[in-house]
């Protein structure tokens, strides 16, 4: 066993050194030749061929062709190559042997990409990385390359956004600020600016240890993307075509609504006699109205008697039971890529064009993405090589949905306040009379809260236009065989333009002053709409000079050293502007504004000058030591604190190479590393110019909270200055557009130092049973801090916080990945990969002698889990029954910070992914389950639809029975309802509760009786359950998803011999096919992030999301 | 080979040309740094907006509460009662940690410094307004909690300011108000008396501001009535008498035209109730108010409320005062909701308060009617001699009636909760003014109760939580409590708890203040020095 390993190792080491070995020739030999191909028919160049039991070997050329001299008689050839299973073939009479090698993900001599794009043997790496092949992610596709990494890497959680063009939450070891690196250079990425078809591999550097060389941007780890390069095929070129078409239909998670009761309040409803219900009492109504029993009710389309001016009732029936389902359409995701690779004596070239077209499920929403990638190299001489890469990405759409809790979004319109009172089919002509006025007033069933969904779909448009370009030019000069020097300049830049056209008569829900339906005498005042623009531009240049030295020092010592310097210059500019009521309806132009335009600009500049060095010293396999150091001069930090140094150290040793281990263990490597990263006063993302401006003076306002009152703030990738350590005046207006200012609320600190993140990691790689089973375990501890933190101060200072190097958290986690091949026969194979990870983050230290710190309105003590979240809980008797007051409502909790109770933890206990892959001859079948276990989240849509009277729960069980009885007691809305809901629980019959920190401390001294007081269901929900408590709406964050299923067939390679078509494969694919969770109101997938130390967000109470659906389709891959 | 090196050299040259950014990159280029020249008017604008909004509201601080009309504070004043939590909030006085108004102090310091630099002297109108605003923000907080940091507050270099006793806070604040008056006195000339101050969103003239300062000082002095006898050093009574006795030196408001008000506008600062606001059915008028006005046949009843639907259904007319029924805020919200649906209670007068974007009236922060009642109260208490309480009492009533534009014989249209006209009533001023319950009963307890009741009625939907503070100090009018609707205990708290930031980040000083005042516990139900 050991000798085989050693030999494999030796062979590959030789290979890596780039030496061809063809040892000796025996007296009587013959030459055997042939071609070594991979499963996909592509030649395996540099594959090693050796004669078993001898030291004879040869290496295949770039076309996979080998020639080997074989001694006379019986011989067995062993074919091997990094990343493939070794294959043995007996040499009989024939001298030609064409071989197909199968990929093996568990190879020992795996090469990984590390920081700065440096390739290293995995066994020499002292920290945790994990690689995913790009080809695995181009079949059952996501619209976004990064989304596809879900469940594939232990410790990496990707929460694909339910929204079109939404930025996924990419969480690595609990942090969301990750660095994206393409071919060794950091790019500014919204995760949409790369095409999955151009990606050779994704390497996840898990944490600071791996990414220390990238400086502060690598503080939480990085995702390195290696793009595909030019072909080495004999013909000099190859063409790949990949086409994927997927349909989106069948909801994975869908909030369920009742359709028994319609608009109204306390079982009553009547639309006013006014055209727009302005004189009605049930405008902006909830869904607590009468039951649909066909009784006459005055409705939006009931006729008005011309003589009396009174509206006449029409039958009250559930006209729109399936409004939402009928409104939504089948989504489509179509991705096509064509890539041409070529190479010649001196050049290699790859040109690739991808087009993604996505049609949303919501009508009239779509997205186009063009991605052009050119990768080329030219060898001036064997010593001098020039490489250039350019990626051009354009995203454009006239309309994508905007989802938040407000009148702009479908979940709000259909799921929270969607009544079955109206029929969807009636709404298609949204300008129709009598209430509609073409181009001016929409036709709808209510005027106050919502909008006609077709009007929203076709008139209220959110455009997005972005061009995103990154590319580099690089010279590499090979001074000698040990040393090369490279000079590279790279630009990453994007321009984004977003528009919002708000049509006349749009209901903005009264949040934004100025929008109203009003009657002025006989005339209706209709506002004419608005137009908003959001422009953002970023340009960043990274220029590097790097020397790379690699030398075998002899006696088993090997040295690799890198030294370099880089200059990063950064510039960002943004504008946000909006009309303040249009003067001419339908003209969407900023100059068409009735009141002065509201406009904001924000710009920033930054520069980072860096020097870095890395030394790797290896002594055989006993010990590999890797040390890095980096110095940054960072312009965002205060004068005098700008120069920061940070080191890292990694150690690894392959124990199995020098120690005898039980036979079951075929390989054992241990590793450990330490890194210390510093930085500060930068933000990873940025909002609108308005948001950025207010954030920079320490008074963050989103468009939603500060200006518009609806909609969602768009955050784009940034990685630039935050300017939050400065005291400044920001101009604004509060009263009647008169000029005013705000002044910083955070005290600046001239002596503020960079933040400090120390990361420790230890791990082991073990392979068992002749490498059939591989286990990788990593334990990490990250000491986050002291961070730059706006520590609260007593408000009597006039300020709310001061910047300090305070608060430190400690994160401890474990990541396990298991790879196995339970079955491998000639025709059938079964591979399994399991990823599992967990971590906990606790408060380790606060500033100076502080014992508690107020975060998210809770005072955390040292040692507390920072993802613990607090809110209002139902009081319970010792036997667990809820306690009611004498009025039949739940006993009211005390409010205030100290009275909130622990509701749960925002982070999951653990996250896992399980991949299975079966191969039978040319068929393959793979599927992946992944999910998260543990943690709690507030089910916002459930809470809101309970409050609105619209949740299905309100017509079922006790609620349903009481509601029906109450309804019956109203005699068809003619008398007031008799309350019928008696909450199951107790009332205090004697004793007075004593409260301390929000809990009753003398429960044992109280006596309880059964609660017998009835209240109406509406009162119970709206005045008690929803109004006073958080606990009833908490759900488990656990879920399990059947993420992807791929059934593929690869046409046998021999069919294409001598044909134009060189290979073909087809697949049937599915994504998100099954979803299991406690309540399926929301797709929990999106909420990957729990507590996040960098912005202290807790993500325990998210807003509304679009409904997610299953996706299925087919994929065709052709190569020419 | 050489030629390739030239290529690299050229490439390196190109890069070096494009690279380094020069100059200061640390500073935020988008805003004015702390040492910029900023017009004091812009800072005044922000400070005054903060006064209208309430402590901490502009900065969205935890527990901050908007102080304008038709909101949470007006339920604490028991003018309105919510029967549905989601749309009209809760009634429960579930108080905890307060917010603070120290943001005003911060802006005032900046404003004073900028004005002193830009005008060459601290003796200017912004300096005078600064004194007033300082007193305003300290008193705002001390009324809520008790002792607070004052002398050491607002200092960027002292993050743990010590607490001043409530006694000292009042003494110092009264001195600040006196200085403000003196400064205005020295600054006002016949040529500038009627000019407004740049940045003043309330648009008062300089001389009106001087009146505001003194009128506010009268409010502060009367709020100290429980401490008037045992704190000779504060000279509460004599200060009051001095102001009243010297209108040249201490001018006070002379009519509603002098009111410190916030005026609404249709484009940017709309009235909180507008035609697009459809939730009137979830709010009722409180019985604390209607019990007073209906018993006295007060025509303001018709102005602010609708008749209770059940009363009309029972045969009463819209002009029958007994048809106007207030809701008892101490009842459980579910019971209020059921009763309101059954038509038991009066709603807010939709026709008046929901008719326009600018509202029927400006929001009064410090008003002339209240001042009249404060003076009447002082006379009733014997603080001032030689003045007639009845005159000031009647002045107050008449000023309030004129604020609503009410006159005898006027015909008012009565509507329902959605503004549908139900009928008309004729204002019979005599029925009200000559009502035995209204005619001043003299400088005795009954007279005092009358003054306090009328002050309460005049402060309907205005003056922040002054109505509550008056009740807390005097017990008049009697606020509804001891029911399941008033938090868990049924009792209206007497104070707020200290802000969380003070308790955690100024711990030693805050703890010591609690020790001195309340035996160490931050008890909501204990009385502070002011009202003991």
Q: For residue B283, list chain A residues with Cβ-Cβ distance below 8 A.
A: none
Pairwise CA distance, residues A595 & A583, whole Å = 9
Give A327-379 pLDDT, tens digit per residue.
999 999 999 999 999 988 889 999 999 999 999 999 999 999 999 999 999 99
Residue numbers of A between 545 and 574 with CB closer than 8 Å to B? 567, 569
Pairwise CA distance, residues A613 & A545, whole Å = 12
A136, HSE (Cβ side, Cα atoms, 13 Å): 23
What number of H helices and E strands is found in chain A?
10, 60
Residue A621: which pLDDT band, with cuts at 50, 70 and 90? Answer: confident
| Residue A598 pLDDT > 60 | yes
Q: What is the pLDDT of residue B269?
A: 93
Q: How close A236 gets to chain B, by Cα (Å)?
A: 26
- In A314-403, beta strands by DSSP E: 314-315, 331-343, 347-359, 366-379, 384-397
Q: For residue A567, list chain B residues with Cβ-Cβ distance below 8 A.
A: 19-20
Q: What is the pLDDT of residue A532?
A: 96
Q: Is B42 close to A740, i.e. CB distance below 8 A?
A: yes
Mean pLDDT of chain A: 89
Residue numbers of A between 1029 and 1058 with CB closer than 8 Å to B? none
Which one of B26, B36, B63 has the shortest CB-CB distance to A635? B26
Which one of A603, A721, A895 has the shortest CB-CB distance to B96? A895
Reply yes or no: is the peptide bond before residue A786 cis, omega within 30 of 0. yes
Q: Is B45 close to A517, i.e. CB distance below 8 A?
A: no
Q: Is B159 close to A793, i.e. CB distance below 8 A?
A: yes
Q: What is the pLDDT of residue A827?
A: 87
Q: Could you tell me if A939 and A233 are in contact, meaning their C-beta atoms sit under 8 angstroms apart?
A: no
Residue A1014: which pLDDT band, with cuts at 50, 70 and 90? Answer: very high
Total-model pTM? 0.90
Residue numbers of A between 437 and 466 with CB closer than 8 Å to B? 448
Q: Which of B332, B358, B497, B521 to mutate to test the interface with A (most CBs of A within 10 A)?
A: B332
Q: What is the pLDDT of residue B206?
A: 97
Q: What is the pLDDT of residue A22?
A: 37
Pairwise CA distance, residues A457 & A445, whole Å = 16
State phi, psi for A347 to the nearest 5 degrees: -140, 160
Q: Is A797 close to B153, i.e. CB distance below 8 A?
A: yes
- CA nearest to A549, candidates A630, A478, A650: A478
User: What average pLDDT does the segment A899-924 reach?
Assistant: 94
Nearest CA in chain A to B99: A795
Of residues A636 and A516, which shows the higher confidence score? A636
Which one of A740, A888, A1024 has the shortest CB-CB distance to B46? A740
Please identify every stretch of chain B with a pLDDT value under 50, giving residue numbers as ranges. Answer: none
Pairwise CA distance, residues B480 & A662, whole Å = 82
Q: For residue B501, list chain A residues with Cβ-Cβ distance below 8 A.
A: 792-795, 800, 854
Q: Which two tokens stand for residue A353?
A: 């064009």
- CA nearest to A730, candidates A750, A700, A686, A685: A700
Q: What is the pLDDT of residue A259?
A: 96
Q: Is B276 close to A595, i.e. CB distance below 8 A?
A: no
- CA nearest to B505, candidates A862, A798, A850: A850
Nearest CA in chain B to A797: B154
Q: What is the pLDDT of residue A1065?
A: 92
Give A24-38 pLDDT, tens digit per residue.
334 467 888 888 877
What is the 3-state secondary structure of A26-56? CCCEEEEEEEEEECCCCECCCCEEEECCCCC
Give A1048-1104 pLDDT, tens digit per residue.
999 987 788 778 888 899 999 999 999 999 999 999 999 998 898 888 888 888 889
**Number of CB atoms found within 10 A of residue A714's CB:** 23
| Residue A5 pLDDT > 60 | no
Provide the percentage of residues in chain A whose pLDDT is more than 90.
Answer: 65
Give A70-111 pLDDT, tens digit per residue.
887 778 888 877 667 777 888 877 778 878 777 665 444 577
Of residues A285 and A492, which shows the higher confidence score? A492
Q: What is the pLDDT of residue B247?
A: 95
Q: For residue B49, list chain A residues with Cβ-Cβ distance below 8 A.
A: 734-735, 740
Q: What is the largest CA-CA distance in chain A?
A: 119
Pairwise CA distance, residues B294 & B393, whole Å = 19
Residue numbers of A between 395 and 424 with CB closer than 8 Å to B? none
Which one of B32, B110, B334 has the shortest CB-CB distance to A1019? B334
Nearby residues of A1059 by Cβ (< 8 Å), 6 or more positions away: none
Question: A970 and chain B: CB distance < 8 Å anywhere?
Answer: no
Give A531-563 pLDDT, tens digit per residue.
999 999 999 999 999 999 998 888 889 899 999
Pairwise CA distance, residues A877 & A888, whole Å = 15
Q: Is A854 close to B504, i.e. CB distance below 8 A?
A: yes
Q: Is B276 close to A516, i.e. CB distance below 8 A?
A: yes
Q: Is A448 close to B278, i.e. CB distance below 8 A?
A: yes
Q: How close A887 gets to chain B, by Cα (Å)?
A: 6
Question: A576 and chain B: CB distance < 8 Å anywhere?
Answer: no
């Amino acid at each position: 066993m050991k000798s085989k390993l050693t030999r494999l190792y030796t062979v590959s080491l030789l290979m890596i050194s780039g030496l061809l070995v063809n040892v000796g020739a025996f007296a009587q030999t013959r030459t055997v030749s042939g071609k070594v191909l991979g499963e996909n028919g592509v030649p395996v160049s540099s594959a090693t061929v050796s004669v078993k039991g001898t030291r004879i070997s040869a290496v295949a050329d770039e076309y996979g062709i080998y020639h080997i001299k074989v001694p006379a008689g019986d011989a067995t050839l062993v074919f091997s190559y990094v990343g493939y299973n070794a294959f043995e073939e007996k040499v009989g009479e024939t001298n030609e042997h064409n071989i197909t090698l199968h990929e093996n993900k568990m190879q020992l001599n795996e090469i990984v990409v590390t920081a700065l794009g440096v390739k290293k043997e995995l066994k020499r790496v002292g920290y945790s990385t994990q690689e995913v092949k790009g080809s695995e992610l181009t079949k059952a596709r996501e619209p976004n390359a990064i989304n596809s990494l879900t469940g594939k890497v232990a410790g990496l959680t990707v929460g694909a956004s339910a929204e079109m063009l939404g930025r996924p939450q990419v969480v690595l070891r609990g942090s969301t600020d990750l660095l994206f690196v393409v071919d060794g250079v950091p790019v500014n990425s919204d995760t949409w600016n790369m095409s999955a078809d151009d990606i050779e591999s994704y390497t996840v550097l898990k944490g600071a240890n791996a990414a220390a060389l990238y400086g502060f941007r690598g503080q939480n780890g990085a995702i390195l993307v290696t793009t595909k390069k030019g072909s080495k095929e004999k013909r000099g070129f190859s063409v790949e075509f990949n086409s994927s078409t997927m349909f989106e239909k069948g909801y994975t998670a869908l909030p369920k609504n009742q359709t028994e009761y319609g608009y109204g309040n306390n079982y009553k409803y009547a639309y006013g006699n006014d055209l727009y219900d302005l004189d009605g009492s049930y405008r902006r109504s909830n869904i607590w109205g009468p039951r649909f029993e066909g009784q006459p009710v005055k409705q939006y389309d009931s006729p008005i008697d011309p003589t009396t001016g009174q509206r006449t009732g029409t039958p009250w029936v559930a006209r729109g039971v399936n409004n939402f389902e009928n409104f939504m359409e089948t989504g489509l995701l179509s991705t096509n890529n064509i890539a041409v690779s070529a190479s010649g004596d001196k050049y290699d070239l790859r040109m690739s064009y991808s087009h993604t077209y996505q049609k949303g499920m919501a009508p009239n929403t779509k997205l186009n993405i063009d991605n052009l990638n050119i990768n080329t190299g030219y060898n001036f001489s064997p010593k001098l090589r020039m490489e250039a890469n350019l990626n051009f990405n354009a995203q454009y759409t006239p309309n994508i949905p905007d989802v938040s809790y407000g009148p702009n979004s479908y979940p709000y319109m259909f799921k929270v306040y969607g009544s079955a009172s109206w029929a969807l089919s009636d709404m298609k002509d949204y300008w129709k009379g009598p209430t509609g006025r073409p181009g001016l007033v929409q036709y709808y069933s209510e005027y106050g809260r919502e909008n006609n969904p077709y009007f929203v779909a076709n008139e209220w448009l959110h455009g997005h236009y972005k061009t995103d370009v990154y590319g580099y030019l690089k010279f590499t000069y090979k001074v000698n065989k040990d040393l090369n020097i490279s000079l590279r300049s790279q630009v990453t830049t994007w321009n984004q333009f977003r528009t919002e056209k708000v049509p006349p008569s749009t209901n903005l829900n009264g949040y934004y002053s100025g929008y109203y339906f009003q009657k002025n005498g006989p005339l209706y005042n209709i506002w004419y709409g608005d137009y908003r623009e959001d422009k953002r531009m970023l340009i960043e240049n990274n220029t590097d000079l790097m020397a790379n030295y690699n030398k075998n020092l002899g006696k088993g010592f090997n040295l690799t050293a890198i030294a370099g310097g880089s200059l990063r210059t950064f510039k960002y500019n943004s504008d946000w502007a909006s009309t303040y009521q249009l003067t001419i309806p339908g003209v969407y132009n900023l100059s068409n504004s009735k009141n002065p335009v509201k406009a904001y600009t924000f710009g920033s500049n930054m520069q980072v000058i860096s020097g870095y060095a890395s030394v790797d010293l290896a002594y055989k396999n006993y010990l590999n030591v890797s040390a890095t150091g980096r110095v940054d001069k960072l312009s965002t930090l205060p004068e005098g604190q700008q120069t920061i140094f940070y080191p890292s150290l990694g150690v690894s040793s392959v124990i199995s190479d020098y120690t005898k281990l039980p036979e079951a263990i075929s390989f054992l490597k241990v590793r450990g590393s330490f890194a210390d990263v510093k930085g500060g006063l930068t933000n990873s993302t940025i909002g609108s110019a308005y948001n950025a401006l207010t954030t920079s003076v320490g008074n963050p306002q989103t468009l939603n909270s500060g200006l518009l009152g609806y909609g969602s703030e768009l955050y784009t990738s940034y990685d630039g200055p935050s300017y939050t350590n400065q005291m400044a005046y920001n101009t604004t207006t509060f009263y009647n557009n008169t000029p005013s200012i705000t002044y910083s609320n955070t005290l600046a600190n001239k002596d503020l130092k960079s933040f400090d993140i120390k990361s420790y990691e230890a791990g082991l790689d073990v392979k068992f049973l002749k490498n059939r089973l591989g286990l990788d375990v990593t334990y990490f501890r990250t000491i986050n801090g002291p961070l730059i933190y706006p520590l609260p101060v007593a408000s009597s200072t006039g300020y709310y916080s001061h910047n300090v190097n305070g608060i430190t958290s400690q994160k401890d986690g474990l990541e396990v990945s298991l790879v196995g091949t339970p079955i491998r026969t000639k025709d059938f194979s079964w591979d399994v990969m399991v990823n599992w990870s967990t971590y906990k983050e606790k408060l380790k230290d606060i500033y100076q002698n502080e014992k508690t710190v107020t975060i998210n309105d809770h005072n955390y003590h040292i040692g507390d889990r920072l993802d613990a979240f607090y809110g209002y809980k139902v009081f319970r008797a010792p036997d667990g029954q809820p306690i009611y007051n004498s009025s039949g409502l739940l006993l009211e909790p005390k409010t205030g910070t100290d009275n909130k109770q622990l509701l749960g933890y925002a982070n999951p206990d653990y996250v896992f992914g399980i991949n299975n892959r079966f191969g039978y001859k040319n068929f393959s079948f793979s599927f992946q389950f992944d999910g998260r276990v543990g943690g709690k989240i507030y089910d916002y849509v459930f809470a809101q639809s309970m409050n609105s009277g619209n949740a299905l729960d309100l017509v079922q069980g006790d609620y349903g029975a009481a509601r029906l009885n109450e309804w019956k007691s109203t005699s068809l809305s003619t008398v007031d309802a008799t309350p019928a809901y008696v909450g199951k629980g107790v009332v205090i019959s004697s004793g007075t509760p004593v409260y301390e920190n929000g809990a009753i401390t003398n429960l044992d001294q109280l006596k309880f009786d059964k609660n017998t007081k009835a209240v109406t269901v509406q009162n119970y929900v709206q005045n008690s359950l929803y109004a006073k408590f958080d606990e009833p709406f908490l759900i488990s964050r656990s879920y399990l998803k059947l993420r992807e299923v791929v059934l593929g067939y690869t046409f046998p390679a021999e069919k294409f011999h001598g044909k134009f078509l060189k290979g073909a494969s087809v697949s049937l694919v599915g994504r998100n096919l099954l979803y299991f969770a406690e309540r399926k109101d929301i797709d929990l997938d999106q909420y990957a992030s729990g507590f996040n130390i960098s912005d202290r967000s807790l993500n325990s109470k998210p807003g509304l999301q679009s409904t997610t659906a299953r996706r299925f389709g087919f994929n065709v891959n052709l190569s020419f | 080979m050489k030629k390739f090196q030239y290529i690299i050299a050229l490439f390196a040259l190109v890069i070096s040309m494009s690279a380094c950014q020069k100059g200061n990159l640390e500073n935020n280029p988008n805003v004015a740094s702390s040492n910029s020249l900023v017009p004091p008017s812009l800072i005044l604008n922000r400070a005054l907006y903060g006064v209208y909004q309430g402590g901490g509201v502009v900065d969205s601080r935890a527990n901050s509460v908007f102080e304008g009309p038709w909101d949470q504070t007006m339920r604490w004043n028991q003018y309105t009662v919510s029967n549905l939590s989601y749309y009209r909030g809760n009634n429960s006085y579930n108080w905890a940690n307060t917010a603070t108004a120290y943001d005003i102090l911060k802006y005032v310091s900046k404003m004073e410094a900028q004005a002193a630099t830009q005008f060459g002297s601290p003796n200017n109108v912004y300096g005078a307004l600064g004194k007033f605003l300082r007193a305003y923000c300290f008193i705002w907080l001390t009324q809520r909690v008790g002792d607070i940091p004052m002398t050491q507050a607002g200092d960027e270099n002292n993050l743990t300011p010590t607490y001043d006793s409530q006694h000292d806070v009042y003494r110092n604040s009264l001195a600040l108000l006196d200085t403000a008056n003196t400064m205005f006195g020295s600054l006002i000339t016949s040529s500038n008396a009627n000019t407004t101050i740049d940045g003043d969103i309330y648009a008062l003239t300089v001389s009106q501001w001087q009146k505001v300062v003194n009128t506010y000082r009268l409010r502060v002095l009367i709020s100290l009535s429980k401490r008037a006898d045992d704190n000779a050093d504060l000279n509460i009574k004599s200060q009051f008498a001095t102001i009243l006795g010297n209108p040249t030196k201490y001018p006070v408001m002379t009519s509603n035209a002098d009111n410190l008000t916030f005026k609404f506008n249709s484009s940017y600062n709309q009235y909180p109730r507008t035609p697009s606001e459809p939730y009137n059915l979830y709010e009722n008028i409180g019985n604390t108010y209607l019990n007073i006005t209906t018993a006295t046949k007060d025509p303001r009843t018709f102005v602010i409320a609708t008749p209770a639907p059940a009363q009309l259904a029972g045969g009463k007319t819209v002009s029958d005062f007994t048809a106007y029924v207030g809701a008892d805020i101490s009842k459980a919200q579910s019971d209020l909701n059921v009763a309101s649906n059954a038509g038991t209670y009066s709603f807010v007068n939709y026709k008046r308060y929901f008719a326009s974007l600018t509202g029927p009236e400006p929001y009064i922060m410090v008003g002339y009617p209240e001042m009249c009642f404060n003076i009447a109260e002082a006379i009733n208490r014997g603080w001032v001699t030689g003045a007639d309480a009845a005159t000031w009492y009647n002045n107050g009533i008449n000023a309030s009636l004129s604020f609503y534009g009410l006159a005898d014989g006027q015909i008012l249209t009565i509507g329902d909760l959605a503004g549908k006209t139900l009928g008309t009533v004729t204002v019979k001023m005599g029925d009200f003014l000559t009502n035995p319950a209204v005619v001043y009963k003299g400088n005795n307890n009954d007279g005092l109760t009358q003054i306090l009741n009328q002050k309460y009625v005049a402060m309907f939907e205005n003056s922040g939580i002054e109505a509550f503070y008056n009740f807390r100090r005097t017990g008049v009018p009697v606020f509804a409590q001891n029911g399941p609707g008033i938090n868990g205990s049924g009792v209206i708290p007497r104070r707020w708890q200290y802000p969380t930031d003070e308790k955690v980040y100024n711990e030693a000083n805050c703890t010591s203040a609690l020790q001195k005042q309340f035996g160490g516990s931050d008890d909501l139900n204990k009385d502070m020095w002011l009202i003991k």
